[in-house]
């Protein structure tokens, strides 16, 4: 069978997976059954992608990450080293809750920093930036910059990953892309 992706010879890929063109799966990673992984993804060393997980195009997963059943990552998501998702609100070893997985969606372009924990059921907005070590316990708005345990919003980020500083008219300009953003009613939107 001809494949359009790379998998290191120590990687394990279970049956029923769809893996997009130019995706790379590195050492000791396990892609479990029925996952859908988009094009041009990079899945680092020692990553577990549990059954039925969906990853969009150009998703970057750093080493030692666990992406559990119920997680959907849209295009261009970055998952930092050793970050983790949960998928059950009240896990107990002696109680089987496999039918109670809670869905978590990470929207396009979001970044989740190293060692962050995402408690299941809390969507991460597009281009949000979750700082290293943050514990997310609530929904995160698009473009929000959050840190801490529990997570607290401390600002806003551009699509290029720069902190936004708003003027008196609630307009901010990304220093790298020169894209403009507007702060309206507690939310940030691209402004043309």
Q: Which domains does the chain have, with CATH numbers?
A: 1-157 (2.160.10.10), 165-192 (no CATH)
CA distances from 86 to 69, 121, 135, 166 (A): 9, 9, 11, 34
- How far apart CA 14 and CA 11 sit, in angstroms, is 10
Work out the end-to-end distance of the chain between its first and last CA atoms, rounded to an integer number of angstroms. Answer: 47
Q: Could you tell me the strand order of the sheet in which 129-130 lies?
A: 6-7, 24-25, 42-43, 60-61, 78-79, 111-112, 129-130, 144-147, 152-156
Residue 2: pLDDT band (50, 70, 90) is low
Q: Nearest 5°: phi and psi at 98?
A: -60, -25
- How far apart CA 156 and CA 44 sit, in angstroms, is 28
Q: Give yes or no for residue 1 having a pLDDT over 60.
A: no
- For the CA atoms of 155, 44, 1, 35, what is the dihedral angle to 10 degrees? -50
What is the per-residue pLDDT for 99?
Answer: 86
Residues 6 or more apart in contact with residue 117 via CB below 8 angstroms: 83, 84, 85, 86, 134, 135, 136
Range name among 50-54, 94-98, 172-176 with the lowest pLDDT average: 94-98
Q: What is the pTM of this model?
A: 0.96
- How far apart CA 167 and CA 21 sit, in angstroms, is 43
What is the per-residue pLDDT for 191?
Answer: 87
Contact between 105 and 123 under an 8 Å Cβ cutoff? The reply is yes
Q: Give yes or no for residue 118 having a pLDDT over 60.
A: yes
Query: Could you say which DSSP state residue 2 is in?
Result: -
The whole-chain average pLDDT of the chain stands at: 97
What is the per-residue pLDDT for 128?
Answer: 98
Per cent of the chain over pLDDT 90 is 96
Q: Give yes or no for residue 80 having a pLDDT over 90.
A: yes
User: What number is the average pLDDT over the span 87-115?
Assistant: 95
- How far apart CA 84 and CA 114 sit, in angstroms, is 9
Q: Tell me the per-residue pLDDT of 18-77, one tens digit each, with 9 for 90 and over.
A: 999 999 999 999 999 999 999 999 999 999 999 999 999 999 999 999 999 999 999 999
């Amino acid at each position: 069978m001809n494949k359009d992706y790379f998998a290191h010879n120590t990687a394990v890929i279970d049956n029923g997976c769809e893996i997009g063109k130019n995706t790379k799966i590195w050492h000791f990673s396990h892609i479990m059954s029925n996952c859908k992984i988009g094009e041009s993804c990079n899945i680092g060393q020692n990553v577990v992608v549990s059954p039925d997980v969906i990853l969009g195009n150009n998703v970057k997963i750093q080493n030692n990450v666990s992406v559990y059943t119920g997680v959907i990552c849209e295009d261009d998501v970055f998952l930092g080293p050793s970050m983790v998702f949960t998928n059950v609100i009240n896990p107990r070893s002696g109680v089987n809750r496999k039918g109670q997985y809670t869905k978590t969606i990470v929207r396009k372009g979001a970044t989740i920093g190293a060692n962050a924990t995402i408690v299941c059921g809390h969507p991460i907005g597009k281009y949000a930036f979750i700082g290293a070590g943050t514990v997310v316990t609530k929904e995160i708005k698009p473009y929000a910059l959050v840190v801490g345990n529990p997570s607290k919003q401390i600002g806003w980020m551009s699509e290029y990953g720069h902190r936004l500083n708003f003027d008196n008219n609630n307009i901010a300009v990304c220093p790298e892309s020169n894209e403009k953003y507007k702060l309206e009613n507690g939310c940030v939107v691209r402004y043309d």
